Structure 1
Amino acid sequence: MKKLIALAAAALLLAGCGASDTAGDQTLRISAAASLTDVIGELEPVFSESHPDTELIINYGSSTKLRAQIEQGAPFDLFLSASSEDIGKAVQAGYIDEDTVVPFAENRLVLVSADRVDGSVGDVLRSADGNIAVGQPDSVPLGAYTKESLAAAGLWDPLDGRLVYGKDARQVLTYAESGNADFGVIYRSDAVISDKVNVVGELPPGGTPIVYPAGMAEQAENPDGARDFLQLLTGDQGRQIIADYGFALPGGGK
């Protein structure tokens, strides 16, 4: 009798482990740059229609902070980054499968304001009064791109004391929309979705192209789901949504 009870207990334990594994396979965890919020929002119902039993958990933030979370053990299956540098570091540290890394979008920087402002970006930044919202250059890819662009144009140091720093791309947009900052340097894709800011002009490119790469976790709990979402993102439907939201396609495509 004791042997039968032990066998039954072992069977229940194995059944419990199997149920847990199956449940885990029904969750897809994606860490995504904040500037991709609307693109992912469009793709979620499309993916869910073909994967009705999969729960999507999306963690948005700046790519650098998302990478730090991954390095600290945060679970994820797919990383959608606004920074080639951050995904490269995740690959080097063994968190991303290098063979799965693929660029899926590009972006540009624009100067915006809640008011209509005439003049070139350089002239406006040199002469206009008021604060300018930018991303944190040390922890937000948008901020690093902004600093690189403005420094190359000789504008970064003269703006010292007028900069307001945001924790991610969407916070910078919010500062500009609300008037908490008179101007903001944001991605072109964020300017496209906002009806509260006006584009003054495009910033000159810095030395680092603004490329968005994706990569699957080296130890993904749901590799099939991650692979399917990545195929959706890089396929015809995903590319159309990416373009609709103001991003450029890899290689300068529209």
Structure 2
Amino acid sequence: MTKEDLSHKGTISTDYRKKALLKTFIILGFIISSNLLWIILMLYGIDITDVNFSISVEIYIWIIIFGGIIPLGSLLVLSSAFYSAYVRKFSYNITGDKIIINHGVLTRTRATLPYSRIQNITIVNGIFDRMFKTFTVKIETAGSSGAAGGQGGKIRPEGYIPGLKDPYEIENKINEMLTKYSQIPSGLEDKIFKPEELAFDNFISYILSKMREGEKLKTSIKELMEKNGLSKAKLAEQVGVPIETINYLIEGRYNPSLSLAYKIAKVLNCKIEDLFKLA
């Protein structure tokens, strides 16, 4: 990636580690305290309503130290090291045609989100976020139901950026790039329907009808690729989307944006009506 291609690069705040540690402390503290109480009651056979305890103070102290303080302290130290590494290794790049997010400690993950797949941007500011003045940006994409997060097994969108101090900066930058990306490419006037041929109306009505009916789109992309001598990988590269998107389009499992359809038509040297078998 060249410097010219790089529009915006950022990392997350170290306050994310503090927020995550506080949540971990509360959860672990509750679990360990509950287990300590259960162990004491089971070990000595004391009913919870019985106030005639015959256990010495020293035994209580040792149980609390070895059953509570030491395990809790050890887990917090490990958690602190983990979250510090998570913050240090988390980065995101907003380029001219996609967003790249790198994260992970034990397993390194690189998520690439083309603008053609972005559907929604959500800014979250929960209770713990407000305590440390941080925000979380969630970028929802088409054709994805989310991926399991590294903490608590939560379902997260592909575009997940926590611990931001100024989320609106990245939101504005993404919206700026989306606006540029969604503009109709120049030089396509002779490759698409003329106004009197109702290109836009035909395209939209066909896509919406298939979405409503739950049917797969019928496309001629595979035939047009063969005609132009293009492979799936080459088409994906020239259009600027992952090869999975091309596979979904060929199989009729993905509803493309109008901008993406324009780009594919340009690469395949055809009109939009040639991409889809309109009913």
TM-score interval, normalised by the smaller of the two chains: 0.3 to 0.5
Q: Greater RCO between the two (CA within 8 Å, min separation 6)?
A: 1
Q: Whose helix fraction is larger, Structure 1's or Structure 2's?
A: 2
Q: TM-score, normalised by structure 2?
A: 0.30
